[in-house]
Amino acid sequence: MARRLIIECVVFLYTIIVQCFHVIKSLFLPLKKNVRNEIVLITGAGSGLGRLMALRFASLGSTVVCVDINTQANESTANQIKSEDGKAFAFTCDCSSREDIYRVAEDIKASVGDVTILVNNAGIVSGKKFMELSDIMINQTFAVNTMAHFWTVRAFLPSMITKNHGHIVSIASSAGLVGISNLTDYCSSKFAAVGFHESLQLELASLGKHGINTTLICPYIINTGMFDGAKSKFSRLLPILDPIKTVDQMMDCILRNGNVLIIPKILCFLLLLKSFLPQKSFVTMSEFFGASSCMNEFKGRPKKKLIKMNDRFLKSNTACV
């Protein structure tokens, strides 16, 4: 028994050292995977990060399946890709509905093929104090930000398992790692997305499905419009992120089969502080770093601004892909 435990410990330490070595090596070598023949499905492809990622994958030769509840914005992304000789398909889908996801998934499998890279990106935010949230809002936030991950993965994972080839990308948030005032529904839904990613990753590893990668992305506030009005208390230390630079980092991580990306890196230090400071200090620390006040002037994006914002991305994207 003791001998077996010693062997397990040695194998464990050896594996950790080899994994650390691989991570350090990957920082210096531009080893990125080829996604030319992949079928990439992106939820929330009609706007913000989803739209930018769709354009990036298309520029790398992937067939992009754009999925969004907003038909016009989604088709605009697919049309932009096609106008640049890329391959894209647009499917309107309400990701808060399991039935709609399963229906659209069947259409996609029949008309495009098996999805090999699934990016769960669609997300919503209410930005209200807990008691001002309606029951419907809370349900909707979980339906889009968490439950949709379950239904899309259940729809597309089986073919990835059969081929032992695929990649599941979960766009969560730094609000899925630390609580923030006025974001109880959003934070909890993103914490759940983080838990989903970690558990799925372990399950795939225990099944020996090492050909299926999982990536979790946790960014701080990004200037896409979704969090309009939210403020950073220390804008030099924790600046509101630029969407294009953020997508650069996200794509780099995905193409390297990275496991977790927290943007900006300084957040890792704050998470470390959170984990070892006494629990009583959590409120003091959150107040100091602005987690209690950053949403005080939150407005969110008025629906009308969506198309205008897409035009801005269309223009800026030409420079970045």
Ligand X SMILES: NC(=O)c1ccc[n+]([C@@H]2O[C@H](COP(=O)([O-])OP(=O)(O)OC[C@H]3O[C@@H](n4cnc5c(N)ncnc54)[C@H](O)[C@@H]3O)[C@@H](O)[C@H]2O)c1
CB 224 → ligand X: shortest distance, Å?
A: 3
35, 50, 62, 289: residue in contact with ligand X (rule CB under 6 A): 50
User: Which one of 54-62, 80-88, 89-97, 157-165 is the stretch in contact with ligand X (CB under 6 A)?
Assistant: 89-97
One-character DSSP codes across 186-234: HHHHHHHHHHHHHHHHHHHHHTT-TTEEEEEEEE--BTTTTTTT---SS
Q: Is 254 in the site for ligand X (CB under 6 A)?
A: no
Question: Which residues face 217 on adjacent strands?
Answer: 171, 261
Site string for ligand X, 165-184 (x = CB under 6 A): ------x-x-----------
CB 280 → ligand X: shortest distance, Å?
A: 28
Write the single-letter amino acid at 172: A
Q: Is 105 in the site for ligand X (CB under 6 A)?
A: no
Q: Is 84 in the site for ligand X (CB under 6 A)?
A: no
Write the single-letter amino acid at 213: N
The reply to whether 186 belongs to the active site is yes
Q: Is 258 in the site for ligand X (CB under 6 A)?
A: no
Question: Which residues face 263 on adjacent strands?
Answer: 219
**Closer residue to ligand X in complex, CB, 71/281:** 71
Residue 191: C-alpha distances to residues 4, 22, 82, 170, 174 (Å): 36, 28, 36, 12, 9
**Closer residue to ligand X in complex, CB, 63/76:** 76
Q: Is 60 in the site for ligand X (CB under 6 A)?
A: no
Checking phi first, is residue 218 left (phi over 0); if not, alpha (psi -120 to 50) or beta? beta
CB 273 → ligand X: shortest distance, Å?
A: 20
**Closer residue to ligand X in complex, CB, 171/209:** 171
Q: Which residues contact 286 (CB under 8 A, 6 or more apart)?
A: 178, 179, 180, 181, 292
User: Which one of 23-31, 45-53, 162-170, 275-283 is the stretch in contact with ligand X (CB under 6 A)?
Assistant: 45-53
Site for ligand X in 63-82 (CB under 6 A): 68-70, 73
177, 192, 226, 244: residue in contact with ligand X (rule CB under 6 A): 226
The pair of structure tokens assigned to 47 is 């706007």
**Closer residue to ligand X in complex, CB, 26/140:** 140
User: Which one of 40-48, 104-112, 177-185, 288-296 is the stretch in contact with ligand X (CB under 6 A)?
Assistant: 40-48
Distance CA 27, CA 73 (A): 36
Distance CA 272, CA 265 (A): 12
The pair of structure tokens assigned to 282 is 């959590």
Q: Is 214 in the site for ligand X (CB under 6 A)?
A: no
Distance CA 156, CA 143 (A): 18
The set of catalytic residues is: 186
Residues at the site binding ligand X, with contacts judged by CB under 6 A? 43-44, 46-50, 68-70, 73, 93-96, 121-124, 144, 171, 173, 219, 221-222, 224-227
